[in-house]
Amino acid sequence: MKYLLLLLLLTGLVACDKTSPVHHRAASALLVETSEVVRSPLTDTRLVSGSLQARAVVRIFNQEEGRILELPFYPGDRVKKGELLVRIDDSLIRAQLNKAIANLKQAKLDARRIISLSQKKMASEDELARLQTAQTLAQTEVNLLKTRLSHTRIKAPLDAVVSQRFNEPGDVVAKYSQILTLIDRSQLKIVVTLSELLLVNIREGDRLEVRIDALGDQRFPARVSRLYPTIDEQTRQGRMEVLLEQVPDKALPGQLARIIIRSSTTPRLNVPFAAIRHDSRGEYVFRLRPDNHIERVRVQSGIQLGDRIEILAGLETGEQIISKGFIGLKEGARVKPLPASGDNAATASTSGPS
């Protein structure tokens, strides 16, 4: 009897369990961060590396061959404008000049004598013209040799510093040999290559900052002094010249320098770069619908600058897209959106019933 009662009790409990209501857990929403599709300039700060260069570099060549008699300056020496840099043996040219001067004197005497005879009708006009031509040629020869003689003494064309020396006194140099290199360290420049997308928004005279690695973290003011007129067809890069406004102490040509460029483009439709997803068909984003469900939208992107990327097709201004929280995100999923919060980014997680 006792076992019969226990069996009836267990049967009743099972029946009650079958008829009791089932409690389903409410569907959870994914916590995501959203961003608005906006039309605005793309901005970015770039650090572009280059080398300091002297703005003025003068290579000293000789125009007369011969033996070097004087070459007093060495690399690092400062020279003043007009100071003698090189003296080449001029003895042969001086001898030729003396001969030419003697020929000129004789030509002048002959010309005066014929002029006197011509006035007395004792010399022909042709003879007079011939002697006058000879006098002109003799004068030209003298002028030429004086010019060549001046080329045996090479003077500094500007205040500068000697950076290279290629010969020594006693060396015999042929014409057009480089003997010295001078640089003007009072003006230093940096020439760098930049994308055409950045160059189009830079103007001559724009203010920049330069950091020279060898001199620490200090930033020095500079300005854009030149924009080169062509863009490389292969790399789509152009060249820009930046001039230090004031040359700091211990700044030397060849040192590594970094230009800080803050740039922006014309207004473009753009979204956070992190919002762009990829699959085998291309690029897409998750767009937020008014009912807090999401849909996958195919897009075509353009240029990227900083943490933003241009959208060429697929979205409109003002639409909300998912920018963070992609773990477990699928087409049609319900989400709990949070606005973009910079560094306080929302992480993908599952919340309780909403």
Q: 28-41+268-347: which CATH number, 1.10.3720.10, 2.40.420.20, 3.30.420.40, 3.30.200.20? A: 2.40.420.20
Looking at residue 349, what is its pLDDT? 35
**Tens of pLDDT, residues 195-219:** 887 888 889 999 999 999 999 999 9
CATH 2.40.30.170 assigned to domain 45-55+187-264? The reply is yes
Classify 141 in phi/psi space as left (phi over 0), alpha (psi -120 to 50) or beta: alpha
Rounded to 5 degrees, what are φ and ψ at 176?
A: 60, 40
Contact 345, 324 (CB under 8 A): yes
Q: Where are the domains of the chain?
A: 28-41+268-347, 45-55+187-264, 90-151
Range of weakest confidence among 95-109, 111-125, 226-240, 264-278: 111-125
More confident residue, 30 or 222: 222
* Predicted TM-score (pTM) of this structure: 0.65
**Tens of pLDDT, residues 45-63:** 888 999 999 999 999 999 9
Q: 90-151: which CATH number, 1.10.10.10, 1.10.1040.10, 3.40.50.720, 1.10.287.470? A: 1.10.287.470
Q: What number of other Cβ atoms are within 10 A of residue 246's Cβ?
A: 11
**CA-closest candidate to residue 303, choices 339, 265, 334, 259:** 265
Residue 6 clears pLDDT 70, i.e. is over it: no
In Å, how far are 34, 82, 102, 174 from 180, measured between CA atoms? Answer: 65, 15, 37, 14
Contact 198, 238 (CB under 8 A): no
Q: What number of other Cβ atoms are within 10 A of residue 100's Cβ?
A: 20
